[in-house]
Each structure stands twice: as structure tokens, then as C-alpha cells.
Structure 1
């Protein structure tokens, strides 16, 4: 089947999401959720590799990131709403089931969706962030993780975080990527987040966080979790506990020397893991 690509505007309730769709029309569906402070563009190289192997990919800019999906108020960005967005997208796209892939905040949302809606998720590939019960335990018990997560305090400060991250041509926002992400891709992420209301929407994910996230049930779908040894935000303790909260076939992959930005920095290895999890032969 001929591979096609389009940038679609998908309406879910009162919101409209920008979704890049590519690959063979008859390919199995893969939904890829980006993290912070990124955009759907983070998945470009991974998506191309999946498309070449026959999979059809759907990469949305999520709530807060899509211009038509930036509601006001912190309460509009709780994980319940973020997870509901995913199911709403599947319904609007007429996808009964999907292989779900998420990085960073996209992984957080993916764990919740897979736990609550296993009938809609054929497989899960989570990148960087482990199951939320594992992350929660690490945050309570592991001093290393507590130190790594200390940055969240700033991000939850309304107004102050936006000021700090956007001043001086978004210098600190850009600095979060270090030299792991190509400058032109960083520019794409930053351009989106400097649109009116976008950064506040993205930061509201952190501001809407509640302490019961670590009560997320175990997932029961086949799962791969990838963690990188140079991830400054996620330590080894939570990563190694992740498998305790997967009641299904599970693989834990450690990427030596990679930073937090796995989709941009290690697209070939990530695509290989997704193909293996979906049972797809590589091109």
C-alpha cells in the first residue's frame, strides 16, 4: 500500500488537535505522545523508520501544545483529561486499538491510558518515565530521585516559570536540551512553546499533578520500557522498579550513554524497540 502523509486537525469535544499522520493506509496504527518541552516534531525520525516498516503513525501535539487545544486554568490539564484526550483521539480517528508510545510526559499519560483502557491498547512502549507507582516510590524513598526531581518546584510556579524559561530568547528552555538535540529541532520545539498560551499550558501539566498518580494500577498489556543512563531527570531506582507494575510480557532496555532526549538522540534504537514490541519486521 502506498505510504501517505498529512497534517490533520482532529476535533475532540471543544478542542482541536494538530496530528501528523503518515505511513501505509493499511498499516497497524501507532500513536506517539511527546514530552516537555518538546512537540510532535520530536517523533519525526522515529516515525519515518516505523513507516518504512509498514506501520502507520499518528503524532499529535497534545493539550496545551496544539493551538486549538489550549484551555484556560490549571484544572484543565490534570492527567484524567490528558488520558481522555488520547481515547477521544482514537475515537475521532476511528481507531479501535493502537500501539501506544510515549516519552516523558507522553509516557506518563501512556501509563495511565494503558492501565485504564487495556482494551484499546495493543502494546505500550514507554520512554524515560517508568510506571507511575515506580516513580512515586522512588520519589519517596530515593534521595537521588528527589534531587533529580527538584526542578519541578520551579515549573509549578505560575508566571515565574514562564518568565525564567522565556527570557533572553528562551535561553533556559533551549538549554534543557543541551547538545543532545539538533538546533533546528530545538528551534521547532521552542517556536511552538513561545506561541501565546502554549508554555503555560505545557507547564500546567506539572501544576495539575496530584499525589495519587502513584496509585495508577499495574498495566496488563505487553510493555517495553526504555531508560537512558545519562538521563538527568530520571534515576535508576525508579527505572529498575518499573517491571513490578507490569502484569504482561515486559522488556526493560537500558540505553548506555544516552540522555533524556531518546526520541531525538537515539531514533534508530527506539524504533527498533517499538518494532519488536509491535511484532513488526524492520524494513
Structure 2
């Protein structure tokens, strides 16, 4: 079945998902009972980064849900950085799936959402039908690149900067100029304004930065047996070719690598039709 992606209306519903950790905000499309797909956003975004994909997947007969993750959903915003360790983030994925009644599901992640996806697939392969990781490679591939590739070390300088106590002040100064520059003017200004507006709410940016501050770089997931697709843009300023091209070494199951020429880090919004088409093909 072919789908004219650009002609589809972007129709999604705002829902809330109640878990023991709190109530997550989410976007959804499709009918409960249809094949389930969970989509995870990265920093410094929100579930709306996946709005186009959620709408098209729902139109195609899937039950697609994109969730505002821990710290981004106002009702799930712990104060302590320790509450943003990766095991807590993986726990949120499973809790959301359980609340939706999903015993098995397809998992899609971008940026930090992809990192959570890799960890989820490694620790709980019995829950996932497929994994799609956009932009961020397997964390072990990234760790190796950080050790061995000087170019990747330069690309990743922001990781330590975001851990500094002054990060919030620097990112929000001058009408959040530095926060806006993260997107490199690659996505619509209206989307950037939405993200900036959310992160200027009290505590929101600190919660988002807690993902970096809680990270233990020596905690790496095992190789992944889940059928996996990794999508990477050749102009990604944060992820170089060393990490991207070596990612397959950490997948023992079926693996598909898609290189998007002349595209940067923000693929779901920068190339929405292309990413959606790849997703539809992979999920089928």
C-alpha cells in the first residue's frame, strides 16, 4: 500500500497516561487494539516532534502514541537528578506501555529517546517487536567513538557543558538565544517557539538537563537482538560517521541502516515524509 504522506491531514489527540510515577502527557492517533507504536522524543523537544509521524501511522492502521517523557510532562518532573537515570527512563517506557495494555510494541526514539530505546531493547527484548533509533546510535558505539575519534569528541563538547550549574542561565539568556540556536534553524520557527516556551516554565529546563546530569557514561546496554533500524543524517553536528557507521556491531538481530544525505540531527521534523516512509516500511 502506498501512502501520499504530504497529503494526509495531521490529526492527533492529546491524551494523558497514568502511571505510578505520575501522569504523562501524550499525542495519539489510531485505534486501541491496532498494532501499537510508542515514540520517544529527545532534547530539547517534546512529543510534538513526532506529530506528523503519529498522524500518518494512525491513518495507516497503527495505534501510535508519542509521550512527553520524564521531566517534560509537568506531572512527572522530579527535582533530584538521580531520578533521571536511564533505568528510571526505561521504567517509564514499560509503565506507559503497561498502562496502555501493550504486552509487545514497536519502539521509536530520536536523540535521547533513541538512547532510551537502545537501553529498553537490551534489557527487555521480550517487550519489543522492533526498534527504530533516529540520530543516536547504540550507546556503546557512541562511547567507542568518544574514546577513539577526535572529531566526535569535538562534536560532543555540549554534553559536559549541559552538566554545568550555569547551563540554565546560559541557555535562557537573551530570550533563550542559545537554546534556539541548538536547532540550527532546521525546523519550523513555530516548533522552536513551542519548545522554548515549554522549557521556560519553572523547573522545566532543569528537568531536561537532569537527563545529562544523571548520565553515567560507563553504564552501557548490551547488544540488541530486536530487529532494528538506525537512521542518521550525514550533516548531523552531534553524531559523526564513526559512531553512526559502527552502530551495527551492537545489533545481533536484523539490522537496517539508513543514511539521509544533506540532513542534520532533527530528522523527524526536518525530513518528516522521509522518516515516516522509512518507519512505515520498517514496521511492516
- The TM-score, its normalising length taken from structure 1, stands at 0.94
Q: RMSD value over aligned CA atoms?
A: 1.3
Deviates more, 1:106-115 or 1:39-48: 39-48
Aligned length: 275
Q: How does 1:246-265 map to 2 (within 5 A)?
A: 246-265=251-270
1:169-212 deviation digits (Å, cap 9, x = unpaired): 11111111122100011111111111111110110110011122
The answer as to 2:202 corresponding to 1:196 is yes
Higher relative CO (Cα under 8 Å, sequence separation at least 6) belongs to 1
Shift of 1:4: 8.1
- SS of equivalent to 2:13: strand
**Which residue pairs with 2:66 in the alignment?**
59
Whether contact under 8 Å (2:28, 2:54) holds in the other structure is no
Where in structure 2 are the equivalents of 1:109-148 lying within 5 Å? 109-148=116-155
Is 2:12–2:54's contact at 8 Å kept on the other side of the alignment? no
Residues 155-176 of structure 1: CA distance to partner in whole angstroms, max 9, x if unpaired? 0012x00001111111111111
List, as ranges, runs of 4+ consecutive aligned residues in structure 1 with deviation greater than 6 Å. Answer: none
1:272 paired residue number: 277
Give the drift of 1:5.
4.5
Instruction: Give the distance between the partners of 2:255 and 2:262, measured in 1 at CA.
Output: 23
Report if the CA contact (8 A) 1:49-1:268 is conserved: no
Look up the match of 2:182: 176
Moved more, 270-279 or 96-105: 270-279
Separation (CA, whole Å) in 2 of partners of 1:7 and 1:51 = 14
Matches within 5 A, 1:16-165: 16-158=23-165, 160-165=166-171
Contact 1:4/1:25 (8 A) holds in 2: no
**Deviation of 1:45 (Å):** 1.2
Deviates more, 1:43-52 or 1:248-257: 43-52
User: Is 142-151 or 9-18 further displaced after alignment?
Assistant: 9-18
Determine the structure 2 residue equivalent to 1:226: 231
State the alpha-carbon separation in 1 of the partners of residues 260 and 278 from structure 2.
11
1:164/1:256 Cα in 2 relative to 1: closer, same or farther (>3 Å)? same
Q: After superposition, what is the alpha-carbon deviation per residue over 1:230-258, rounded to whole angstroms, capped at 9, x for unaligned? A: 10000000101100111111100000000
* Residue ranges of structure 1 left out of the alignment (5+ in a row): none
Structure 2 unaligned regions, length at least 5: 1-9
Once the two structures are superposed, what CA deviation does each residue of 1:41-97 show, in whole Å capped at 9, x if it has no partner? 100112222122111111110000000011111101111101111001111111111
Whether the 8 Å CA contact 1:225–1:253 is kept in 2: the answer is yes
1:210 aligned residue: 216
Report the Cα distance in structure 2 between the residues aligned to 1:132 and 1:243, rounded to whole angstroms: 12
Contact 2:29 2:59 in 1 (8 A): no
Residues 25 and 13 (structure 1), Cα distance of their counterparts in 2 relative to 1, 3 Å cut:
closer
